[in-house]
Amino acid sequence: MLQKLRQRWKVNGVNLALILVTFATGGSLCGYLGRKLLLLMNVDKGFLWVLLYIVFITLLWPLCVILISIPLGQFNFFRSYLTKIWGKMSGKGAKTAKTGQKHVAIFASGAGSNAQQLIQYFKDSATVHISLIVCNKPGAGVLHIAAREGIPVLLIEKERFFSGDHYIPALQEAGISMIVLAGFLWKVPVELIKAYPQQIVNIHPALLPLYGGKGMYGQRVHEAVLAAGDTESGISIHYVDELYDHGAVIFQARCTIEANETAASLAAKIHRLEHEHFPKVVEELLKAKA
């Protein structure tokens, strides 16, 4: 049973134990507070007492488990967990693909701003469905986006990704036809690239082939561009091959670097270019492969 819970919640043994402790402690606290409120209201035990107790428990339980989860380090899990429950109750749960839609998996490691733009862009698409969020970092912001949007998550582990089946069976089972890397920091294994030839694309925050390669991501890229004294930067959307930031470039967009530019201000310009162009380019690629 515990192994099934680990697989279902995609957590290790320590986190599973802390989650179960949070459930138990939060439930006990919830029951205690519910009884205290009824004592303060001076309600006699009977039908009304039971009815009010159920109402109090229902209202207090989410607050209690969130409160307990903070010192136990499980806040992110329970925030996502409660978001999923609310989504099911409100009819905003996981969305199913329509017949004929292409299934896309987004790989991301961080906050997920590009993932959010892709999800929003294809939300009402008749031909494209964001079917899966793949993430290598428990607690990453993109997981909260997935929970809010009702998109299934595949939380991957390093050993299986690099030395096991590379999650190829899981992607194939989900019917994935394209993989989009949106701030994914692990190098994609050769076997996964072979399983999805010319179907894995990445976005890089510079004008490749400049400022690419291992360790070149985020602020590091912008700082390198400014240190070199370049007068422009931009984004590159490219196919993924066996090397970092090496695959054929599909699209580039540029921005001017001002005399007083900082890494933060350049990053803001790059983000605007990413959000404007990335979803459109992905859409064009999917159309071309139809």
Q: Is residue 96 situated within a structural domain?
A: no
97 found inside a domain? no
Q: Using an 8 Å Cβ cutoff, are 121 and 149 in contact? A: no
Are the C-beta atoms of 138 and 167 separated by less than 8 Å? no
Last residue of one domain, picked from the residues 39, 62, 89: 89
Is 210 a domain residue? yes
Could you tell me how far CA 58 lies from the centroid of its own chain? Answer: 29
Please give the span between the terminal C-alpha atoms of the chain, in angstroms, as a whole number: 43
Helices (H), the chain: 2-9, 13-41, 47-69, 75-89, 113-121, 141-149, 158-163, 168-173, 190-195, 219-227, 263-288
73 shares its domain with 160: no
User: Which of 204, 222, 238, 277 is the catalytic position?
Assistant: 204
Residue 94 lies in a domain: no
User: For strand 153-155 and strand 232-239, is the pairing parallel, antiparallel, or unpaired?
Assistant: unpaired
Residues 18 and 115 in one domain: no
Asked if residue 111 belongs to a domain, the reply is yes
Q: Residue 12's pLDDT is what?
A: 76
- Amino acid identity of residue 288, one-letter, is A
Q: What does residue 97 show for φ and ψ, rounded to 5 degrees?
A: -75, 150
Q: Please give the tally of structural domains in the chain.
A: 2
Rounded Cα–Cα distance for residues 20 and 146 (Å): 23
Q: What is the pLDDT of residue 251?
A: 97
117 and 256 within one domain: yes
C-alpha span between 226 and 221 (Å, rounded): 9
* CATH number of the domain that residue 255 is part of: 3.40.50.170
- CA 279 to chain CA centroid, nearest Å: 16
Report pLDDT for 193.
96
pLDDT in tens, the chain (290 residues): 777 777 666 677 888 899 999 999 999 999 999 999 999 998 888 889 999 999 999 999 999 999 999 998 888 778 777 776 776 665 555 555 555 789 999 999 999 999 999 999 999 898 999 999 999 998 899 999 998 888 999 999 999 999 999 999 999 999 999 999 999 999 999 999 999 999 999 999 999 999 999 999 989 999 999 999 999 999 999 999 999 899 999 999 999 999 999 999 999 999 999 999 999 999 999 988 76
> How far is Cα 266 from Cα 38, in angstroms, rounded to an integer?
58
Please confirm, yes or no, whether 271 is among the known catalytic residues.
no
Measured CA to CA, the distance from residue 230 to residue 51 in angstroms comes to 69
Residues 265 and 188 in one domain: yes
Largest CA distance in the chain: 78
Let me know whether 113 and 227 are in one domain.
yes
- Residues 225 and 254 placed together within one structural domain of the fold: yes
Q: Decide which of 89, 111, 129 is a domain's last residue.
A: 89
Choose among 210, 221, 281, 219: nearest CA to 251. Answer: 281
The pLDDT value recorded for residue 77 is: 79
Same domain, 83 and 118: no
Both 273 and 246 in a single domain?
yes
Which of 36, 55, 89 is where one domain is finished? Answer: 89
Letter string b/e over residues 267-276, b meaning 16 or more CB atoms within 10 A of that residue's CB = bebbeebbbe
- What's the pLDDT score for residue 95? 54
Look up the domain containing 202 and give its range: 102-288
| DSSP-assigned states of every residue in 183-213 | S--SPPPHHHHHHSTT-EEEEESS-TTTT-S
Contact, 123 vs 95, CB < 8 A? Answer: no
